[in-house]
Amino acid sequence: MTGSSIDNSQFRRILTRNVALPLGLSVLSAGVFVAIIAYLINVLNWVEHSQRVIGSATEVSKLVSEMETGMRGYLIAGDESFLGPYVVSKPKVEAELDGLIKLVDDNPAQADRLTRVRRAHAEWVKYTEEMIERRRTGQDVTESVKSGRGKILTDDMRGQFNAFIVNETAVLQERNEDARSVTTWSVGFYLLFTLIVGGTLAAFGRRELVRLSDSYTEVLENEAEHNAELRHQGWLRSGQAELAAKSAGLHTLEGLAPAVLDQVVRYLGGSVAAMYVRSDDGVLRRIGAYGFSNEEERAKIIAPGASLASQAANENRLLTIKELPEDYIKVASSLGETAPREVVIAPFANFGKVKGVLEIGFLHGVRERDIEFLKLIGDAVGSSVAAVVYRQRLQDALSETQALNEELQVQQEELRTANEELEEQSRALEESQTSLENQQAELEQTNEQLAEQALNLDMKNAALTEAQEQLRARALELERASRYKSEFLANMSHELRTPLNSSLILAKLLSDNVPGNLNEEQVRFAQTIYSAGNDLLHLINDILDISKVEAGKLELLPEDLPLRRTVEGLGRTFEPLAKQKNLSFSLTVEPNVPATIHTDRQRLEQVLKNLLSNAVKFTEQGAVSLHVGATDEGWVQFSVSDSGIGIAPEQQERIFEAFHQADGTTSRRFGGTGLGLS
């Protein structure tokens, strides 16, 4: 009974121990795991909280930069479209600042920084609104911009933001380190505790402990995988934040490329790298390099399709190159050179459009997390490059605007000089007018003194005044008639050109005789009509230039003129008219006359046609002839002879004056006394 009791009590103790201890250990393990998981979840939430704060702060900084860029563009160009980014970003900045203040309400120092940022931003917005209003009202904002007040406010705001981001990044790293330390110590302590308790329980219940150990081992593996994933995500986000911090505030591609390459190569453990930007035509241009052994010998321009970098950009796909040849590229240091093992070509884009590629060489194998990180930062790098390119284009537009302003100032100076000259002339005229007024006063005084002695001349003066008034009225009437005549000639010449052009077209078609249904004489007649019509068209064109006619001069256009062809053309024109009046018509060109002469063809033909036309007109019977000869002085002499009534000796001197019509009635028989050769 005693042994049985001992056995039963011993069994009860073993059973109780094998049940109670595993149960107690399970409860304790569950509590530890729950505590660890709760702590890690809390730490993860705080890490995500810090990342949201950093991302929101970066977004606010970017929006402020867009507002500043839009405001500057409007102040420079005066174009309302430049205010688009300013107007859009302004409410976003307010909303983001409100959100940031709520996010960091647990950190008084950060909240105080945000309060100072918000105050500086409000002052800056007040300043920019004042500048924009002054620009809209046409006021000069140059002195206000040169004062640097806007830059001081912007630099203060950026300084506060940078301090805010640096502090938040430090908090993020501290939380990551705390999470890593607590997790490591918790897992280590738990494993040690499990080994001690498991060794003790192994002596009494191996199967129960093995089963329990397997269960705990599975939980630990899951926890380790979860921790590894957390560390991996933290590593990716930390790299993104550092890259964003280094890229912020850079306004040139030459400054952005080294910052991006240094951060990416250092973070991924690379050895050599290059950064290319892609133009609209697909050409890649290198803007930065890292660790090249002889950078000058490497191609800085890559044509479309000429390399794997171009292919990666065209397909927007990350490429990994392994088993590189020894002479592919060298990694240089102060101690020597070596070749990389693998190369990764990663494109970066902005809104789906590839902006360039990063090419990175590694002395070790490329890890999956390296590829994931390069894919993750593609959009951020692409956005930075696009922003820098946009800013450079805006800077170019600013330079062009400044050049135009300088040119405008030069023109204003010229106008000012001209105005001063006009003012000087006005003063001279005023002095002249004063002198004339003084002389007039003296004359009036003299007239008063002579008034009593010249009473007998008053009536003559009155008559003379009346005659002058009549002459003035007549002059006005003549001027009005001349103006009406000029307007009539200009209008009629325009009206005559339309039917004349139609006649010229028909005469040209007849002279060409394309169907061949006209005989030689008919073709000659058509050519004569075409030539005479062209001459009439030239005369009408001269009538159009009323200002030259009224000034008594016309512009001469000398050219090399075939003499015999000109004379033959005159024969074709006037021979039919002579035949119509049964007159003999002859043309004679002496052999010693040159083949061509240099003169104005239209004026020469006009003079000869006037002479021949009058000869035919005033000759009732007999002959009309044109004789062309050379003088001893080297001139060419044109002589028109006829057997008509001729010109009276007293009228011969008037043939080179303007045309005068002796009989202005429609029933007149002959024309005027002049040929209008002036």
Asked if pLDDT for residue 442 goes beyond 70, the answer is yes
> Given this model, what pLDDT does residue 12 score?
60
Asked if pLDDT for residue 297 goes beyond 60, the answer is no
Rounded CA-CA distance 605/609 in Å is 6
- Model confidence at 6, pLDDT cuts 50, 70, 90, reads very low
In order, the DSSP letters of 303-325 are -TTSSHHHHHHHHT--EEE-S--
> Given this model, what pLDDT does residue 672 score?
47
Rounded CA-CA distance 474/143 in Å is 65
Asked if pLDDT for residue 612 goes beyond 80, the answer is yes
Asked if pLDDT for residue 550 goes beyond 60, the answer is no
Asked if residues 270 and 260 have their Cβ atoms less than 8 Å apart, the reply is: no
Class of domain 268-396: alpha beta
> Given this model, what pLDDT does residue 368 score?
87
Asked if residues 148 and 141 have their Cβ atoms less than 8 Å apart, the reply is: no
Where in the chain are all domains bearing CATH 1.10.287.130?
A: 459-554
- Model confidence at 586, pLDDT cuts 50, 70, 90, reads very high
Asked if residues 183 and 234 have their Cβ atoms less than 8 Å apart, the reply is: no
Burial class (CB in 10 A: 0-12, 13-18, 19+), 523: middle
Q: What is the mean pLDDT of the chain?
A: 76
Asked if pLDDT for residue 212 goes beyond 70, the answer is no
Q: What is the pLDDT of residues 520-533, one digit of tens each?
A: 888 888 888 878 88
Could you tell me which residue, 187 or 375, shows the higher pLDDT? 375
At 491 the three-state DSSP class reads: helix
Asked if residues 576 and 525 have their Cβ atoms less than 8 Å apart, the reply is: yes
pLDDT mean over 196-208: 66
| Lowest mean pLDDT, pick from 61-70, 251-260, 621-630 | 61-70
Class of domain 459-554: mainly alpha
State what percent of residues in the chain have pLDDT above 90: 5
Where in the chain are all domains bearing CATH 3.30.565.10?
A: 556-646
> Given this model, what pLDDT does residue 494 score?
56
- Model confidence at 678, pLDDT cuts 50, 70, 90, reads very low
Asked if pLDDT for residue 4 goes beyond 50, the answer is no
Rounded CA-CA distance 267/55 in Å is 19
- Model confidence at 537, pLDDT cuts 50, 70, 90, reads confident
pLDDT mean over 427-454: 78
Asked if pLDDT for residue 274 goes beyond 80, the answer is yes
Asked if residues 300 and 312 have their Cβ atoms less than 8 Å apart, the reply is: no
Residues 6+ apart with CB under 8 A from 137: none
At 338 the three-state DSSP class reads: strand
Rounded CA-CA distance 27/29 in Å is 5
Asked if pLDDT for residue 201 goes beyond 70, the answer is no
Q: Which two tokens stand for residue 347?
A: 């494109």
Could you tell me which residue, 546 or 22, shows the higher pLDDT? 22
Residue/partner pairs of 107-112 with CB below 8 Å, 24 or more apart? 107/171, 109/167, 110/53, 110/164, 110/167, 110/168
Where in the chain are all domains bearing CATH 3.30.450.40?
A: 268-396
State what percent of residues in the chain have pLDDT above 70: 74
Rounded CA-CA distance 488/469 in Å is 28
Rounded CA-CA distance 533/231 in Å is 99
> Given this model, what pLDDT does residue 166 score?
75
- Model confidence at 159, pLDDT cuts 50, 70, 90, reads confident
Q: What is the pLDDT of residues 635-674, one digit of tens each?
A: 999 999 999 887 777 777 777 665 555 454 444 555 444 4
- Model confidence at 140, pLDDT cuts 50, 70, 90, reads low
> Given this model, what pLDDT does residue 610 score?
85
> Given this model, what pLDDT does residue 584 score?
93
| Nearest Cα residue to 187 out of 221, 161, 153 | 221
> Given this model, what pLDDT does residue 666 score?
40
Four-way CATH pick for 556-646: 1.20.1600.10, 3.30.565.10, 3.40.50.261, 3.30.450.20:
3.30.565.10
Asked if residues 583 and 623 have their Cβ atoms less than 8 Å apart, the reply is: yes
Rounded CA-CA distance 643/584 in Å is 10
| Lowest mean pLDDT, pick from 191-195, 560-564, 657-661 | 657-661
> Given this model, what pLDDT does residue 639 score?
93
